[in-house]
Each structure stands twice: as structure tokens, then as C-alpha cells.
Amino acid sequence: MDQLELWLAMAGLTFATVATRAGLLVFHRLSPGSTVERALRYAPACALAAIVGPELVFSHGVVEPGHYKLWAGAAATAGFLVTRNLFATLAIGMAVFTALRLVGWS
């Protein structure tokens, strides 16, 4: 990436940030409909799934169904379904993740 592309990218991101923040100041009186508000409740879960999902399935850019990250994610999901406790979910997932890495599972 040359200098011009870098500066254009920074300028574009700056403009997008300022425009969205200014839009909130200008249109603060407008309220989204109830359907939009209900849909926005799922945005954090969707964003988390979009970030974590590919990490669980891909290893070095290739789909590996038996990868240890996938098994750790499955164990964490099962732990959550059984306990409904966030701390237990994290502990189970990390325990399986660490154990599989230590035994050399790939």
C-alpha cells in the first residue's frame, strides 16, 4: 500500500466516523420503530458470532473440522447449555482448549 492509499483510507475512515457521530447529534429526536429496536437486540450476538465463528472453524485459512479450537468451542457450548453460567462456560472452554493444545492435538 503506497502513501496515497494510506492517506485516502485514513481520510475515508475519519469522514465515516465524524458523519455517523454527527448524525446522532442531528437526528437525536428520531426514534427507530419497534421492529428495528427488537432486531438491534441481536446485534451483539451476531457480531460475536461473526468474530468467533471463523476462528473455531478455520485453521491457517483452511477448514479443519477436527481442530482443537472447534472442540473447545463445542465443549464451551455444551457447558453453557448445562450450567447456564458464563464463568463455567469460559472455564470449560479454556480447559478443553488448553488440554488439547498440551497433548498436541492439531
Residue range 72-104, pLDDT digits in tens:
999 999 999 999 999 999 999 999 999 999 998
Is residue 19 scored above 70 in pLDDT? Answer: yes
User: Could you identify the residue written with the cell 438491534?
Assistant: 40
Mean pLDDT throughout 46-57? 89
Beta carbons within 8 Å of 52's beta carbon, 6+ residues apart: 73
* Domain annotation covers residue 37: no
Pick 56 or 28 by higher pLDDT.
Answer: 56
Say which amino acid occupies 24: L
Query: Do 60 and 87 fall into the same domain?
Result: yes
pTM beyond 0.75: no
Q: What per-residue confidence (pLDDT) applies to 106?
A: 63
**End-to-end Cα separation, the chain, in angstroms:** 34
* Domain annotation covers residue 106: yes
Query: Do 24 and 47 fall into the same domain?
Result: no
**CB-count exposure of residue 36 (10 Å: 0-12, 13-18, 19+):** exposed
Query: Do 57 and 87 fall into the same domain?
Result: yes
Q: What's the domain range around 8? A: 1-30
Pick 89 or 29 by higher pLDDT.
Answer: 89
Query: Do 3 and 51 fall into the same domain?
Result: no
* Domain annotation covers residue 36: no
* Domain annotation covers residue 51: yes
